[in-house]
């Protein structure tokens, strides 16, 4: 039987609240299911609260609310944080992404998250 975990899109107002929402959806209050993009990818690989047989889906309800909250403004905010930590060789690329996000262009944080689901857990994310 497929286990369904539910994210309430109204609770996702920034990337930080996404980590809280998905952590609690999968592992209950205060639960963990990644706190950065790489950790989310790892968690989707199994062993962090999802069934051992891999039979699960994550329903992201009211995802359009989250899509707006995780849009270009939040993307620019996240890229501003990233550029401070970026390796000197990667800094120019992050700055270019930041400039695009500030212009309302390019992939958003929401897009980043969906892409990780598609890559690491194809068919396991339902956007409702």
Do 120 and 90 belong to one domain?
Answer: no
* pTM beyond 0.85, yes or no: yes
Q: What is the 3-state secondary structure (H, E, C) of the chain?
A: CCEEEEEEHHHCCCHHHHHHHHHHHHHCCCCCCCCCHHHHHHHHCCCCCCCCCCCEEEEEECHHHHHHHCCHHHHHHHHHHHHHHCCHHHHHHHHHHHHHHHCCCCCCHHHHHHHHHHHHCCCCEEEC
Do 10 and 61 belong to one domain?
Answer: yes
pLDDT at residue 52 is higher than 90: no
Number of domains the chain contains: 2
Do 102 and 113 belong to one domain?
Answer: no
Do 54 and 79 belong to one domain?
Answer: no
Structural domain that includes position 23:
1-70+109-128
Report pLDDT digits (tens) over 63-110.
Answer: 999 999 999 999 999 999 999 999 999 999 999 999 999 999 999 999
């Amino acid at each position: 039987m497929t286990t369904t975990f539910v994210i309430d899109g109204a609770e996702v107002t920034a990337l930080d609240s996404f980590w809280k929402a998905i952590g609690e959806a999968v592992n209950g209050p205060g639960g963990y299911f990644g706190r950065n993009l790489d950790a989310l990818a790892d968690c989707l690989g199994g062993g962090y609260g999802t069934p051992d047989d891999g039979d699960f889906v994550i329903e992201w309800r009211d995802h359009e609310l989250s899509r707006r909250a995780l849009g270009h403004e939040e993307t620019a905010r996240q890229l501003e944080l990233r550029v401070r930590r970026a390796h000197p060789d990667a800094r120019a690329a992050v700055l270019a992404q930041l400039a695009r996000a500030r212009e309302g262009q390019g992939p958003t944080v929401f897009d980043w998250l969906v892409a990780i689901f598609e890559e690491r857990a194809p068919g396991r994310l339902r956007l409702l």
